[in-house]
C-alpha cells in the first residue's frame, strides 16, 4: 500500500496571497510560474509513458470564426469599462460629428433601439467617414446614402427610412451576452477591418489575405488588387456571371497539410447591399449550394481543383458536428439577413444566434480544445472615434469589435494590440501549418498581392490572448434571450502563482500554490512525490480541501513520516511533486476545472 496521510482533512494554511509572498515566507528564491503536465494518477508497475500532450498554441485543435455584420467598435463597446472607447468628459461623450442638415455637431449617444439604420460602408464612404483622421464624416455620409423617398426599404440605393442613427451606441442593456463574453474572456479594442471598404472584399481577405480582380481564368498572375470592386457572384451581379478567384486562399495550404476545414452558411436572405455605397440592403438567396458575397470560397480555383466544394456546408452541419465531436480544424460561419445584425436586422436576433453557436461549441466534446473568434466584417457606417492605421493601399479599414472565447482565453483581458482579421489567418497558419504563410514567393502559386498580410509587423499576435498554462475553463452557457444588464461571472480556476521550483523547508515542509477562483469554489488538492518505495509505493501529499472566492495562497503539507522520507531523498537527488488540483463552482457543481502540476523540489 502507498504511504498515505491519516484519514483526516489536511490542516491547510490558507492566507492571502500577499501574505504568502511577503518577506520571510521563502517564495522569493523560487523560480517563476511554470507548469508541466503529469499523469492523472500515481504510476504503477507495467505502465507505459503516456503520449506527450500538445503544448502552447497546439492545445487549440479547432478554430471557429464567427463573422457578423456591420458594427463599429464604438457602436457596441464604446462604453465598456477599461476599453479604449468613446472619449468622455464628466461622464458624457466628448466627441461629435457635424450634421449638415441641422448645422449642429451631434454627440455620440446611447441608442436602446433594436433596429438601426447605419450608413454607407464602401471605399468612398470609409474615406469620407475618416476624413483625414478627423473621424467626423459619418452623419454626412448617412444623409447622402441613397434616394428619398424610397418606394421600398429593400431598394439597394435607398437610405432606410427613419432617423439618422450612426452616432448611436449600444451597451450591456441591449447586448448583455456580448458584454458578458467581453467581461469574462478577451475583448480586442484595436481590431480593424482588414480592408478599407465593404463586405465582399472583407470576406475575400478573411480567407485569402487579399481582394483582387482576375482577367484570365486560372491565372493567378493576372489578378490585380481590387479594394472596391472584385468580381461578384451571379446571385449578386444578376447577370449570371461567375467570378474566378485565381489567387491563393488558405484552404489551399490546409489541403496540402491534410488539415480539415468547413465553411458554414445559414440559408436565407443575404445581408449586404447591391450598391455597397448605399445604406439599405435587398435580400438575396444564400445557401451552401447558392454562394453569394458572403460565401466566396466556391469561386476560388483552389477549392474546386482540390475537390473541396463539399466543405462549404449548411449551418445544420455545424451544429451536428459540434454535437458529435467532429468539428473540422477550421470553421468559418456566416449568418443570414435576419440574424446578421446588418441594418435593418434585429440586434437581439443576431445576439441570440451567436449565443446559440457559442453554446453549441461549449456543449461539444471539443470545447476543451477550441478557440472561437467573434467579429463583425465592417463598421456599417456607424461612428468610431479611432482613425485606422494605414499599412498598405488596402487598409486597414475602420475599427470593429473582436472577441476571443476559449477555455484557454485569458480571463477578463482587454487586448490593446493592433489587430485585423488577418490575425485569424496568422493564428491558423501558426497552429496548423507550421507558420507557413500565404506568400506567393513560397506557396507555389505566385500572384501579385502587394504584401504578405500575416507577416506585417503592425499586426499583433492572437496567441497572446491565451494562457495555455491555465486549467481549461468549463463551459460558460448563456441564455439566448438574456435580461438587460445580465452580466454573470464565469467560473474560472486560475494559477496565480505556482513556482516551478520550490524548497519545502522554507514552507514548513510543504509547498505553496497561489490560486484564484473567480466565483465561490470548492478546491481539492492531492498528489504524490516521485520517490519510489519497495512494492511500487509512493509518498503522497496530504489531501486538502478549501472553499473560497478570490485569490489565496494554499500550503500543501506532508505527514511527519513523509516529510522525513522527502528530506532523506533530497539529500541524494532531486524530487518532483505531482499535484492534481480540482475546483468546482459551489453554486453549480457541474462547472468544474482541473489541472495537473509538476513542481521540482530542492533542499
Contacts for 459-462: CB closer than 8 Å, 24+ residues apart: 459/391, 459/418, 459/419, 459/420, 459/422, 459/423, 459/426, 460/190, 460/415, 460/417, 460/418, 460/419, 460/423, 461/417, 461/423, 461/426, 462/373, 462/404, 462/419, 462/423, 462/424, 462/426, 462/427
**Model's pTM, two decimal places?**
0.88
Residue ranges in 39-196 assigned as alpha helix (H): 73-77, 123-130, 138-144, 176-184
Residues 68/74/78/84 CA torsion (nearest 10 deg): 110
Residue 507 lies in a domain: yes
**Residue 63 cell numbers, joined:** 478554430
* Whether 34 and 63 share a structural domain: no
| CATH number, position 511 | 2.60.40.2550
Give pLDDT, residue 161: 63
Least Cα distance to 472 among 348, 329, 319, 366 occurs for: 366
* Whether 361 and 265 share a structural domain: yes
| Whether the Cβ atoms of residue 367 and residue 347 lie closer than 8 Å to each other | no
Residue 582 lies in a domain: yes
* Whether 523 and 388 share a structural domain: no
Residue 295 lies in a domain: yes
Give pLDDT, residue 293: 86
Q: CA angle, corner 481, sides to 355 and 592, nearest 5?
A: 55
**Average pLDDT by stretches of 10, the chain with 603 residues:** 33 32 31 33 41 86 97 98 98 97 97 94 94 97 67 38 89 98 98 96 97 97 96 85 96 98 78 46 48 87 97 94 98 90 93 96 98 97 97 97 98 98 98 98 96 98 97 96 97 95 94 96 96 86 95 95 94 94 94 95 92
**Residue 357 cell numbers, joined:** 453557436
Tell me how far CA of residue 257 lies from CA of 260, 302, 436, 537, in angstroms.
9, 14, 11, 45
Count of domains in the chain?
2
* Whether 68 and 36 share a structural domain: no
DSSP E strands, 291-360: 312-314, 330-334
Residue 135 lies in a domain: no
Residue 28 lies in a domain: yes
Q: What share of the chain is helix, strand, coil (3-state, %, to 5)?
A: 25, 25, 50
**Residue 376 cell numbers, joined:** 463583425
Give pLDDT, residue 159: 54
| Whether the Cβ atoms of residue 222 and residue 214 lie closer than 8 Å to each other | yes
Residue 170 lies in a domain: no
Least Cα distance to 175 among 490, 489, 482, 488 occurs for: 482
* Whether 290 and 408 share a structural domain: yes
Give pLDDT, residue 150: 39
* Whether 355 and 417 share a structural domain: yes
* Whether 31 and 65 share a structural domain: no
What is the Cα–Cα distance from 131 to 415, expressed in whole angstroms?
A: 27
* Whether 542 and 422 share a structural domain: no
Give pLDDT, residue 99: 96
Give pLDDT, residue 235: 79
Residue 279 lies in a domain: yes
What is the Cα–Cα distance from 554 to 544, expressed in whole angstroms?
A: 9
The domain in which residue 504 lies consists of 13-43+490-601
Residue 481 lies in a domain: no
| Whether the Cβ atoms of residue 527 and residue 582 lie closer than 8 Å to each other | no
| CATH number, position 456 | 3.40.720.10
CA 209 to chain centre: 19
The helix/strand/coil state of 205 is: helix
Total H helices, total E strands in the chain: 13, 28
Amino acid at each position: 500500500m502507498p504511504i498515505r496521510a491519516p484519514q483526516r482533512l489536511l490542516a491547510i494554511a490558507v492566507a492571502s496571497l500577499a501574505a504568502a509572498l511577503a518577506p520571510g515566507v521563502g517564495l522569493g528564491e523560487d523560480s517563476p510560474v511554470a507548469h508541466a503536465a503529469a499523469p492523472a494518477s500515481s504510476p504503477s508497475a507495467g505502465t507505459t509513458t503516456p503520449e506527450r500532450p500538445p503544448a502552447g498554441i497546439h492545445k487549440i485543435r479547432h478554430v471557429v470564426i464567427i463573422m457578423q455584420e456591420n458594427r463599429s467598435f464604438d457602436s457596441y463597446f464604446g462604453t465598456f469599462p477599461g476599453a479604449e472607447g468613446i472619449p468622455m468628459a464628466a461622464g458624457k461623450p466628448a466627441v461629435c460629428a457635424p450634421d449638415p442638415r441641422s448645422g449642429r455637431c451631434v454627440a455620440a449617444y446611447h441608442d436602446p433601439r433594436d433596429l438601426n439604420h447605419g450608413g454607407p460602408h464602401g471605399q468612398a464612404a470609409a474615406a469620407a467617414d475618416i476624413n483625414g483622421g478627423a473621424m467626423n464624416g459619418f452623419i454626412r455620409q448617412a444623409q447622402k446614402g441613397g434616394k428619398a423617398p424610397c418606394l421600398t426599404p429593400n431598394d439597394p440605393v435607398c437610405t432606410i427610412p427613419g432617423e439618422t442613427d450612426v452616432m448611436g451606441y449600444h451597451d450591456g442593456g441591449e447586448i448583455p451576452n456580448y458584454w458578458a463574453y467581453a467581461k469574462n474572456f478577451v475583448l480586442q479594442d484595436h481590431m480593424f477591418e482588414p480592408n478599407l471598404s465593404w463586405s465582399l472584399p472583407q470576406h475575400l481577405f478573411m480567407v485569402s489575405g487579399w481582394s483582387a480582380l482576375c482577367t484570365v481564368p486560372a491565372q493567378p498572375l493576372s489578378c490585380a488588387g481590387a479594394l472596391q470592386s472584385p468580381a461578384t457572384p451571379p446571385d449578386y451581379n444578376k447577370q449570371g456571371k461567375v467570378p474566378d478567384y485565381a489567387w491563393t486562399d488558405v484552404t489551399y495550404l490546409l489541403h496540402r497539410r491534410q488539415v480539415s476545414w468547413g465553411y458554414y452558411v445559414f440559408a436565407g436572405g443575404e445581408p449586404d447591399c447591391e450598391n455597397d455605397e448605399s445604406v439599405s440592403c435587398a435580400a438575396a438567396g444564400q445557401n451552401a449550394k447558392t454562394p453569394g458575397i458572403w460565401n466566396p470560397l466556391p469561386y476560388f480555383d483552389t477549392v474546386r481543383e482540390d475537390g473541396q466544394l463539399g466543405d462549404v456546408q449548411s449551418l445544420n452541419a455545424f451544429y451536428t458536428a459540434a454535437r458529435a465531436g467532429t468539428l473540422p480544424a477550421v470553421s468559418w460561419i456566416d449568418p443570414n439577413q435576419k440574424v446578421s445584425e446588418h441594418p435593418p436586422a434585429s440586434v437581439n436576433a443576431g445576439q441570440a444566434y451567436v449565443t446559440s453557436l457559442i453554446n453549441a461549441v461549449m456543449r461539444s466534446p471539443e470545447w476543451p480544445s477550441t478557440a472561437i473568434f467573434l467579429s463583425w466584417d465592417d463598421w456599417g457606417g456607424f461612428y468610431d472615434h479611432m482613425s485606422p492605421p494605414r499599412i498598405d493601399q488596402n487598409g486597414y479599414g475602420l475599427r470593429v469589435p473582436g472577441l476571443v472565447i476559449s477555455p484557454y482565453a485569458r480571463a477578463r483581458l482587454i487586448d490593446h494590440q493592433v489587430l485585423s482579421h488577418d490575425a485569424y489567418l496568422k493564428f491558423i497558419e501558426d497552429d496548423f501549418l507550421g507558420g507557413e504563410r500565404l506568400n506567393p514567393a513560397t506557396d507555389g502559386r505566385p500572384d501579385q498581392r502587394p504584401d504578405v498580410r500575416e507577416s506585417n509587423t503592425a499586426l499583433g499576435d492572437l496567441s497572446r490572448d491565451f494562457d495555455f498554462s491555465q486549467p481549461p475553463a468549463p463551459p460558460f452557457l448563456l441564455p439566448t434571450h438574456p435580461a438587460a444588464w445580465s452580466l454573470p461571472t464565469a467560473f474560472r480556476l486560475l494559477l496565480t502563482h505556482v513556482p516551478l521550483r520550490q524548497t519545502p523547508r522554507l514552507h514548513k515542509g510543504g509547498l505553496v500554490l497561489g490560486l484564484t477562483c473567480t466565483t465561490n469554489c470548492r478546491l481539492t488538492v492531492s498528489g504524490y512525490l516521485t520517490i519510489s518505495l519497495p512494492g511500487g509505493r509512493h509518498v503522497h501529499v496530504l489531501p486538502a480541501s478549501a472553499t473560497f472566492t478570490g485569490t489565496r495562497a494554499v500550503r500543501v503539507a506532508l505527514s511527519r513520516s513523509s516529510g522525513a522520507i522527502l528530506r532523506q531523498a533530497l539529500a541524494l537527488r532531486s524530487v518532483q511533486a505531482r499535484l492534481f488540483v480540482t475546483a468546482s463552482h459551489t453554486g453549480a457543481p457541474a462547472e468544474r476545472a482541473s489541472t495537473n502540476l509538476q513542481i521540482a523540489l530542492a533542499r
